[in-house]
Structure 1
Amino acid sequence: MPSIDIRRPHGLSEADALTVINKVADRMREKFDVKSRWQDGALMFERPGINGKIAVGGDEIHVSAQLGMLFSPLKTMIEQEIRRKLDEHFA
């Protein structure tokens, strides 16, 4: 199963970073019908064909995901979109 593993430094306080991730999660729910929940300091997310987590550290955001067969051909495009969103919110 293809995987995505992206780490991005950020200069926000951890509370502000969590606020941004919550807004991103709301958008993922609205746009892609992604289910999410907080567990052990990370936002766990899933929908058919993809599951992963967004971990927020003091100075880093870590996005990891496993892609099912349906999303495997789209891995590069999905990674590019994640990087674009991270740049938008944490650059």
Structure 2
Amino acid sequence: MASIEIHRPHRLSPAEAHAVIDHVATRMREKFQVETKWQSDRTLSFQRPGITGTITLEPNEIHVSAQLGMLFSPLKGMIEQEIRRKLDEHFS
């Protein structure tokens, strides 16, 4: 099982960062059939067969943690690159 851990600083207000994560979660559900659920005001969990993880909002940082099953482990580099690209797009 492969894992992905990404920390990215941001300058958004908590409400703005929450709205961005809501938007990203909608896209994840539409594009990848991922189930998402807010666990608290600052942690969104996501899952689908072969992938589980969380997106956690800190005051000045976003943290993405994902665990990839055997099917997705060979795609770790590509998945991580796409996550980083989306974080750059929304939080830079």
TM-score, normalisation: structure 2: 0.97
Say which SS state the counterpart of residue 54 (structure 2) adopts: strand
Which residue identity does 1:6 align to in structure 2?
I
Say which SS state the counterpart of residue 25 (structure 1) adopts: helix
Aligned to 1:10: 10
Provide the C-alpha distance between the structure 2 equivalents of 1:50 and 1:76, rounded to a whole number of angstroms. 14
Could you list the runs of 5+ residues in structure 1 that have no partner in the other structure?
Answer: none
Say which SS state the counterpart of residue 15 (structure 1) adopts: helix
Runs of 4+ in 1 over 2 A off after TM superposition: none
Say which SS state the counterpart of residue 27 (structure 1) adopts: helix
Aligned to 1:58: 59
| Map 1:1-91 → 2, pairs under 5 A | 1-40=1-40, 41-91=42-92
TM-score, normalisation: structure 1: 0.98
Which residue identity does 2:54 align to in structure 1?
K
Q: How many residues align?
A: 91
Provide the C-alpha distance between the structure 2 equivalents of 1:78 and 1:43, rounded to a whole number of angstroms. 18
- Cα shift readout 1:49-79 (whole Å, capped 9, x = no counterpart): 0000000111000000000000000000000
Shift of 1:21: 0.2
Provide the C-alpha distance between the structure 2 equivalents of 1:65 and 1:31, rounded to a whole number of angstroms. 17
Could you list the runs of 5+ residues in structure 2 that have no partner in the other structure?
Answer: none
**CA RMSD between the two structures:** 0.5
Say which SS state the counterpart of residue 70 (structure 1) adopts: coil
